[in-house]
Amino acid sequence: MATQRTASGGPSGDSGAKLPDPVPDRLPFARAASVIAVIVLAGALFGYDQGVISGALVGVQKAFAVGAAALEIVTSWVTLGAMFGSLGGGFVADHFGRKRALFAAAGLFIIGAAVEALAPNVPVLVFGRLVAGFGVGVAAVAAPLYAAELAPAAQRGRFVSSYQLAITIGIFVAYLVDEALAGPEGWRAMFAVSAVAGVLLALAVLTAVESPRWLVKTGRPDDARRNLVALGAENDADARLAAIKAALRAEHETASWSDVFAPRWRTPLKIGLGLAVLQQITGINAIIYYSDNIFAAAGFTTPAAQTAATTWAIGAVNVLATFIAIAFIDRLGRRPLLIAGLIGMGLSLAAVGLAFQQSGGAGGTTGVITLIALVVFIISFAFSLGPVTWTVINEIYPGEVRGRAVAVATAVNWGAAFLVSEFFLTVVNAIGQAYTFWLFAAFCALGLIWVYVGVPETRRRSLEEIQASWGEASRRS
Ligand code: BGC
């Protein structure tokens, strides 16, 4: 307890003083650009791997003459790889640094993409998917963590949302590449494209500075000071360094995995895991992966019409609506976006359910209503649960366990994504389209209540201030 009082007391320990933000308000242009390049390339690779499979499957099926079960494995093992990769990524990011973790992720992407593109049979292809997925998981932990630690407090939401923007661009580009390369052997090139992005990520990481917060944590204050100066803190690097040290002094010497689950961090743990699960059980990836099927069931008869609806109504809209979050996440805050988004998502999912129930799943009106409702759903997700989940997960945990706690929340997010994408079609077969969408809508309603009651606003507070507030919360209770 005493240690946490120090955390809320500022760098010199005077109780009540506000902690200065370790990162300067304005980063030099070249520094900001290299941080953003790392985040954007890591996110784009994540998104590309999510999106590419829908177009590659047809070619894979023809090339190896395999059935549905093998195709399901080719699809879903990337998610499994990502789940384990995020746990490994937390360890690597905490022990070896944020930059090295991102470099390793780039290497895994490149190896995975090469194995996938050259695979002589399905087991090798699945191995490639697993390796690429592992890279996705490592990057999914290290990139937003790096973004949150390198961002000035007043722009942190925007920095981490650029990561989400990049994911959506990756998905959209994958849809376009899939369309452009459609053909018997096109699937190999579709996978190979992500190796190029992996190389660009590795180059961007080489030009970026390591997180000063991580350097202090691992006993390298001189390096941290040098990087603070590089980030624009020429005049007050010592004060900012002191702010990081003060927050770390308030922590245990060495954190273990069990510290992630320690009672004093229970509140941020619940918030991070809650958002990670909520983001997935409200249906986003069921729609991203199976939108062709949904549009087919809603009356879009030709494959060309289904693909066009998916590319533009889902892929492009997802990208554009993420700009709403970038514009407002630091101005309005995380909570208003989450609340508005969950309302929009819930209502649009309920409308899709209603359309399916009334028409029995066919006919023109269902198609139009489904199209409009899914566009509203994607917009609502893209400005709320998409970016806000990653932002909040990366800002609520104390420095001592940040890497590992982010890893746990990210792995849980991937686990939930795996379950939803794995069982979506099974649930549809069991209870029908209408009830499946209503189930997603019900999760939105429950999530809305939970967010309203249990998720605090973190806008414009430094990571150290947020950390100190958990100490205050546990002292009050
Ligand atoms: C989610 C992914 C999802 C993507 C869609 C991300 O925030 O974590 O699972 O596919 O958003 O844009």
The CA 386 to ligand 1 mean position distance, Å, reads 6
N-to-C CA span, the chain: 12
Angle of the 68-95 helix axis to the 122-150 helix axis, nearest 10: 40
pLDDT recorded at residue 20: 67
Q: Where are the alpha helices (DSSP H) in 65-121?
A: 68-95, 98-118
* Segments in the chain below pLDDT 50: 1-16, 252, 477
Instruction: Say if CB 42 and CB 139 are below 8 A apart.
Output: yes
Nearest C-alpha to atom 5 of ligand 1 is from which residue? 168
384 CB near ligand 1 (under 6 Å): no
| Residue found under tokens 């969408």 | 437
Nearest to 303, CA basis, from 295, 45, 267 = 295
Distance CA 107, CA 128 (A): 13
Q: What Rg do the C-alpha atoms of the chain give, in angstroms?
A: 22
Which DSSP symbol is given to 21?
Answer: P
pLDDT recorded at residue 443: 98
Instruction: Say if CB 189 and CB 60 are below 8 A apart.
Output: no
Distance CA 435, CA 349 (A): 10
52 CB near ligand 1 (under 6 Å): no
Instruction: Say if CB 112 and CB 200 are below 8 A apart.
Output: no
What is the pTM (predicted TM-score) of this model? 0.84
Distance CA 277, CA 259 (A): 21
The CA 232 to ligand 1 mean position distance, Å, reads 33
∠ CA 140-144-145, nearest 5°, is 105
Phi/psi region, residue 119 (left: phi>0; alpha: psi -120 to 50; beta: rest), is beta
Handedness of CA 376, 379, 383, 389 (dihedral sign): positive
Nearest C-alpha to atom 6 of ligand 1 is from which residue? 386
Q: Which two tokens stand for residue 469?
A: 């507030």
Ligand 1, atom nearest to 50 Cα = 10
CB neighbour class for 120 (10 Å; exposed up to 12, middle 13-18, buried from 19) = exposed
Distance CA 195, CA 111 (A): 8
The CA 47 to ligand 1 mean position distance, Å, reads 8
pLDDT digits over 129-145, tens only?
999 999 999 999 899 88
Nearest to 361, CA basis, from 286, 436, 465 = 436
DSSP line for 45-75: HHHHHHHHHHHHHHHHHHHHT--HHHHHHHH
Residues written for the chain: 477
Angle of the 385-393 helix axis to the 266-281 helix axis, nearest 10: 160
50 CB near ligand 1 (under 6 Å): yes
Which DSSP symbol is given to 27?
Answer: -
Distance CA 408, CA 125 (A): 27
Q: Could you give phi then psi for residue 195, rounded to 5 degrees?
A: -65, -35
As a whole-number percent, the residues of the chain with pLDDT over 90 amount to 48
**CB hemisphere CA count around 350 (13 angstroms):** 11
pLDDT recorded at residue 330: 93
Handedness of CA 251, 255, 259, 265 (dihedral sign): positive
pLDDT recorded at residue 345: 98
285 CB near ligand 1 (under 6 Å): yes
Distance CA 441, CA 432 (A): 15
pLDDT recorded at residue 1: 30
Nearest to 97, CA basis, from 37, 170, 150, 18 = 150
